[in-house]
Every structure is written in structure tokens, then in C-alpha cells.
Chains A and B, each alone.
Chain A
Amino acid sequence: MKIKNTSQGCIVNSLLILAVLAGCSSRTDVNEAIARVNSNNIQRLANLYFTYQMKNDWRGPTDEEEFKEFIRSYNPRKLTRIGIDPNAVDELFINERDGQPFKIRYSVRGSAMGSSEPVIFETVGVSESRMVGFLNMVQREVEEAEYNDLWEGKIQPEQTSGNAARESL
């Protein structure tokens, strides 16, 4: 009886494994996905800057006070799902890497067709390189000279538009 049970168990287990393999599919959770692209404060601030522009005819916030006021009035559910405590917005403006407040370029214009302007800058950074957050969801470390040029708006980002992209084919 024991042998019969063992062999039956073997077959049942094999069939179960096959059924799982044949039927498995992955379903992505949108909350996890949006959290993944908002995993640190420089990303969150750059993305919120873009959100501000969307709601204000593609004009950037004029100063820190206006930016913070916008974030405080933003949908708390959406803030929470990107890892921001709606009651602790000030903490968002502090860089986790160097513990210093971010430098932010205000009044930067955006576009419905995307923009890659640099807006959020680490003040100190680590190992003599500092991270810059761009409006196209990119963050990268830059050296001193490029950092200064980006901060002063000397480097003009590529403008993206459907027509421009078509011309590049």
C-alpha cells in the first residue's frame, strides 16, 4: 500500500509540476512598477518636477516653496505608492547619498513631447562625482565641468518630437 501511495504521489507531483510549467504566466503589478522608477529621492523629485509641469502648461515650479506646496497638495495615494510620506515632504528634498539638500533648477520649461532637461542636482555627491536627475527619468553621475555646465543650462538637451524622430529615420 505504501509503495502504491509513493508511486501515485510521484505521478501526481510530476503532473502538478508539468501543469504549473505549462500554465505559468507572469503578471506585473503596476504599483511595483511605478515604485521601481521612483526608488530614490533624486528620481522622485525629477519625476514630481515633470508632474508639476504637466499640470501647469509645461512650466516648472518657480521656487522650492511652490514645489513643496504642489507636492503637499498632490494625491496622497500616489505619493505613498512611490515611497513618499505625504506628511514628511521636507525629507524628500534631502539626498540619501550625502545627507545634503538637493540643488534644484527652477522655472525650467518642459514639453508634452518629452524633455531631457537636468533639474535635480546632488550638492556634494560621493567620490568627487555628483548625480544629476533629468526630466526624462535618467539619473547619472557627472564630473565637475559637466555638472557646472548642466547647472548653468549651458548644455541644451535634444528636443524630442514625433516629427523630429521621423526625420531621423
Chain B
Amino acid sequence: MLQHRKGFLFAFTLVELLVVIAIIGVLVALLLPAVQAAREAARRSECINNLRQLGLAMLNFESANGVFPTAGGPVALFTNANEQAKASYGIEGASWMYQILPYLEQQNLQQLRHESGGSVGFVDTGLSETPVAAFNCPTRTGRFATIGTDVYALGDYAGVMGSWNDGRWTQFEWQDTMPPKARGDFTEDEVVWTGILVKGGQVAKTLSPPRVWKFARVGFAAIEDGASNTILLAEKAVESKYWTVSSANPWPYWEVYGYYTGADWPIMRMFGAKILGDASPHREVVIYGDDDVRSHLSPYARSNEFGFGSAHPGVLNAVFGDGSVQVIDNSADLLLLDQLGKRADGSVVSSQDL
């Protein structure tokens, strides 16, 4: 080993150095997974904390206004600057994320908005490309879309809509500006917007003058199943290769136009449970991990996302109407989750049943 003899200095031999490096390599190989797991656990905690903050912001909004924020207006109104300038509609076109900004100490960001909407009020002002930490799970990175000449910050949390397997859900052009009635006596707000966050209303642009239907806003009294038994927000599904959306081909409507999009897929999702069993018209919307392959979908639809999911292995974080955060197993029963997403379906379920 290292010796000092008669003025000569002896170094480590090459073999000794290689052995030391090999030992360090083995130790690192043993330690790295544990380190990565610890870092992921920290990120999961931060994600839970984000949801808790969003839940508190929602509750503060409710305290101040007597109702929860809306999901936003029809997306066709949100994207059209001319339409949003029409204050007579009386419906906030931007999403719940925009509405709770002051309750996240982001009132300055909220005030960036020009009085009109869409490309003028949100894009030109820089509002739509400014990331807000509370809207993003720290495990996911690069959460923005580059569409045309614009950048949109993308969110990781969504409110809950009803299931498209509800037999009454048909012919609702809820993304466009159409009358809210599809057929029979059922209207869009009764069938689609069954959670705590509901669309602000609908506008029929084709009528002259345009006709407006304002949907009833939800306060605690309207959450008949109990706020602690109703999911308010959960992590939304995003396949890891689409964390960053760098193209409009295919059109990434499940993410665009980012945080402030009206009541649509970027900020609202569903569990899609097969309420009608085998007679259900659509597939159920399973909870996906970010690295799960969506191979059962057609190639065209493989990038589409309508449901919930997370980057955290095997679990999904959700905040309930009372502000409590629950960790839900990805294999949880979708029918139960669908019932937990509804504010007043009369079901006797709680998160303990999952």
C-alpha cells in the first residue's frame, strides 16, 4: 500500500485503482435505484401537496363566491376572441384553472388577461405559456405544447365529467356552441356535467340573436352525496411520449389549448365506467400509467386521452370535495370511481370502498 521509503513515493497501482472504481460502481448500482425511488417518493409527495393546494384554492373560491368555479365555457367560445368579448353571454369561457388563480396567489397572472378571450386574451398576453407550479405534477417534465407560433403550458390535473356510457349521453355537441338538449328530456348539464366542476353554460350561435343557457353552479348544498365522498380533481392521463406536444398532427385536442381551455378534455376527464354493462356504447376509460402502452386503441386514437392516470407507479392522486387527498390504486373499480365523481347520483360509496 501507500508507503514512504527513503524519499520515494509509491502510488496506487492501476489494478488497485480499477478495483476501487469497480467497487464504487457496484455500490452506485446498488444505491441508484434506492435514490431514484426516494426522489420519486418526494415528487409524489409534492404532487399530493399540489392537489391539496388546489383543493384549498377551490374551497376558498367557494367561501368567497358561494359556489365552486365552473369548468369553463364551450371551448369554441374560449378559442374565439370575438366571442369572448361578448360580455352579454355572462359565462366565463376560461377554465377552473384560470378562475382559481387569485386563490393560489397568482392574481397578477390572472390580470394579464386582455378583456377578450382566446388568442388575444390568453396567448398574446403570454398568460397561456406561463407555467404555474401547482398545476403540474413534478414527475412530468416539459409540459408544454408548441402549436403554430404559440406555446401553451399544459396541466396535469382535471375535474370529473360523467361517463359517456350513460345511456342518456348522446348527440351533445358540448365542445361547440349548440343548444344543450340532445333528445328526450335530458340536457347536457344533467348528463355530462355531473361532478363538482360543471360547465358554465351553453350558447347557440346559430340562433339570431344567440341564445344562452346558464347551467346551475355547484355549491356545497348541491353536493348531495357529501363533499368527502365526491372526487373534485385527480391526475389526468398523459402518455410519457406526449408530455411535450410538439406537433398538431394529429390535432392534440386532449391537451390544447392548455391550462385555460374551456370545458374540455385538457381540464376535464372521465372514468367512462360501463354503466350499461355489455350494452355500453363506448369503451371504459381505464386509469393509465404514463408508460402504459395504449395498444388496444386504433393507431389513430392511440395518442388520445380522455381519462385519468399518473406518472407515479400504480397509483393515482385525487383531491375530494372536502379538500382531503386520497391515493387511489390504478386497478380500482371504475364503476365506484364513476360514482365517486358524481356529486348527486345517490350512490352510497366512499373512498374507503375502493
A contacts, CB < 8 Å to B: 2-3, 6-7, 10, 14, 18, 22, 25-28, 30, 33-34, 36-38, 44, 47-48, 50-51, 54-55, 57-58, 75, 78, 82, 112-116, 134-138, 160-163, 165-166, 168-169
Contact = CB atoms under 8 A, between A and B. Distances in A.
A30 B146 contact: yes
Contact of A137 (B32, B119, B248): B248
A168 B298 contact: yes
A47 B149 CA distance: 6
Contacts of A134: 249
Given A48-B148, A165-B301, A169-B298, 6 more contacts: A28-B142, A55-B118, A112-B79, A114-B248, A135-B248, A165-B300
Nearest to A138: B249
A75 B246 contact: no
A104 to B, nearest CB: 16
B297 A34 contact: no
B260 interface: no
A103 B206 CA distance: 34
A34 to B, nearest CB: 5
B239 interface: no
Contacts of B75: 112
13 contacts: A22-B35, A25-B141, A33-B246, A37-B246, A47-B149, A55-B119, A55-B120, A57-B82, A113-B175, A114-B248, A114-B251, A166-B164, A169-B301
A116 B75 CA distance: 19
A44 B148 CA distance: 8
A48 B141 contact: no
Interface stretch (B7-15, B182-190, B207-215, B340-348): B7-15
Contact of B248 (A2, A55, A136, A169): A136
Give the dominant DSSP class at B's interface: loop
Nearest to A38: B149
B282 interface: yes
Given A47-B148, A82-B149, A161 B175 contact: yes
Given A37-B146, A113-B251, A168-B301, A3 B244 contact: no
A136 B80 contact: no
A160 B248 CA distance: 11
Interface string B72-86: 000110011110000
Interface string B237-267: 0000000101111110110000000001100
A113 to B, nearest CB: 6
B339 to A, nearest CB: 22
Nearest to A14: B24
Interface residues of B, number: 54
Contacts of A136: 247-251
Given A57-B80, A113-B175, A113-B253, A36 B246 contact: yes
B300 to A, nearest CB: 6
Contacts of B175: 113, 161-163
A114 B17 CA distance: 60
A132 B32 CA distance: 49
B21 to A, nearest CB: 7
A78 to B, nearest CB: 6
Nearest to B244: A28
Given A18-B28, A113-B175, A168-B298, A54 B119 contact: yes
A27 B140 CA distance: 11
A6 B82 CA distance: 70
A115 B253 CA distance: 11
Interface string B127-159: 001000000000001101011111100000000
Contacts of B11: 3, 6-7
Nearest to B261: A112
Contacts of B306: 166
Contacts of B249: 116, 134, 136-138
